[in-house]
Amino acid sequence: MKEIIYYQDSEILIRNMRDKDISIIVEEEIAQGWHASSEKYEQRLLDQQAERAVSLVAEKHGSPAGYINVYWDPQTGAYAKKGIPEIVDFGVLEKYRNQGIGTRLMDTAERIASTRCSRVWLGVGLHSGYGSAQRMYVKRGYIPDGSGVWYGDEICTPYGECRNDDDLVLYLSKAL
C-alpha cells in the first residue's frame, strides 16, 4: 500500500500503518508491561488493505509513538452496521505521552471519519487503566450512547454480573 501522510509538523508525523511498525509497537508495549501480540496489528493492516479501515501510526522524530484506527462500517458494538465510523484501538506508548501525540491522532481520526459521516463513535474501557482516555473523550465532546455498559459484544443486563477487564466498555459518540 502506498504511504499516505495525514499530518506532519516539526516533531510528529501521522501516516498509514506499515508492516514494519508492528514489531516495534509490540516490543514497546511488552516493555511497558502490556499484554501485546502482533495478531491484532496484522489484522488492522489486512482491514486497511481491504478498505474496511484506515490504520494510522504517529511517529515522533521517526519512531512509532502511537496508533489509531477508523473502521468505516463496524459489524459489532452500539452502532454496528449503521454506516457510522468507529475509532478503534487508540494508544500512545507511555514514553511518548503528554506530548500532543494523542490529540493529533484523535484529530486526524475524526477528520478522516468526517469524510464519510457527520458522527463517529468509540468504546472505552471502564477500569482505571482507561481513566486518561475516559477524561480525554469527555473533553473532546464524546457522550454516552445510552445503551448502557457492554461486555464483549453484548449489553450487560441490569444487576447482572460482569467482569471489569478490557472487554467491559461504554460506547460514546460525537457529532463531527
pLDDT, tens digit (0-9, with 9 covering 90-100), for 81-137: 999 999 999 999 999 999 999 999 999 999 999 999 999 999 999 999 899 999 999
Model pTM above 0.85: yes
d(CA 166, CA 152): 9
Q: Please classify residue 73 by burial: count the beta carbons closer than 10 Å to its beta carbon, then call 0-12 exposed, 13-18 middle and 19+ buried.
A: middle
Put residue 158 in one of left, alpha, beta given phi > 0 → left and psi -120 to 50 → alpha.
beta
Q: How many domains does the chain have?
A: 1
Q: Which three cell numbers stand for residue 161?
A: 454480573
Residue with cell 474501557: 125
CATH number at residue 71: 3.40.630.30
